[in-house]
């Protein structure tokens, strides 16, 4: 009996850790997948801090209700939205810029959106417009992205996300002049926000999801 007891204890101590590990592996593998590129939440639920040293986080804190998006494309666009309008799809500023991302009528027209009122009432259209504009900006600035990413200008390390954020603020042409003049030619909006501040504030996000496209078309019913 003693030999049998010893063998049972041996197998018990051997199998328990293996079974536990297998259970945990299965539990994590069957978690529902979320398409974060289509996931839209209100700005009040987001933590906009991007921690460079922590891998991309896609977890929900059940106690606080905060969705942590790490440095993903969604974190990038929601951080810009928070800066532009506090994430308000219905926002109109004193200069007439519209929606969550504060688009001007000229830019909307360039993207094929002819009805500003429809744009303002439609969150899905605003999300499509932001992505389309980012794709166009990335195409216009594709050579500058290759040339300047990783370099420092005015003490700020240039990143692709910083370039795209600055292009959203000031337009790709002004960003191109800023980079090629190594910061000597800066631009700012009517409220005094300049390219350098956006380069710094929105650096380090993963914008590989945004594919450069010369003339992106918004398909909307």
CATH code for residues 72-201: 1.10.530.10
pLDDT (tens, 9 = 90+) of the chain, 221 residues, equals 444 455 545 554 555 555 555 554 444 444 434 343 333 343 344 443 333 333 344 444 445 545 566 788 888 998 899 899 988 899 999 999 999 999 999 999 999 999 999 999 998 899 899 999 999 999 999 999 999 999 999 999 999 999 999 999 999 999 999 999 999 988 777 677 889 999 999 999 999 989 999 988 787 65
Alpha-carbon span 156 to 141, nearest angstrom: 18
Which of 71, 197, 77, 186 is closest to 126 using CA atoms? 77
Site of tokens 């914008």: 207
């Amino acid at each position: 009996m003693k030999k049998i007891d010893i063998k049972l204890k041996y197998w018990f101590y051997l199998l328990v850790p293996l079974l536990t590990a297998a259970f945990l592996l299965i539990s994590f593998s069957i978690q529902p997948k979320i398409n974060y590129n289509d996931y839209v939440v209100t700005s009040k639920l987001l933590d906009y801090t991007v921690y460079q040293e922590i891998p991309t986080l896609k977890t929900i804190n059940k106690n606080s209700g905060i969705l942590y998006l790490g440095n993903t494309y969604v974190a990038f666009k929601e951080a810009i939205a928070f800066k532009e309008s506090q994430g308000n799809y219905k926002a109109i500023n004193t200069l007439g810029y519209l929606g969550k991302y504060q688009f001007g009528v000229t830019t909307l027209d360039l993207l094929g959106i002819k009805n500003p009122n429809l744009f303002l009432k439609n969150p899905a259209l605003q999300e499509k417009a932001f992505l389309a504009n980012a794709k166009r900006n990335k195409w216009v600035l594709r050579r500058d992205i290759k040339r300047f990413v990783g370099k420092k200008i005015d003490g700020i390390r240039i990143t692709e996300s910083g370039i795209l954020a600055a292009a959203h603020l000031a337009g790709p042409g002004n960003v191109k002049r800023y980079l090629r003049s190594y910061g000597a030619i800066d631009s700012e909006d009517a409220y005094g926000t300049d390219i350098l501040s956006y380069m710094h504030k929105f650096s380090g996000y993963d914008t590989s999801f945004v594919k450069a496209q010369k003339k992106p078309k918004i398909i909307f019913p």
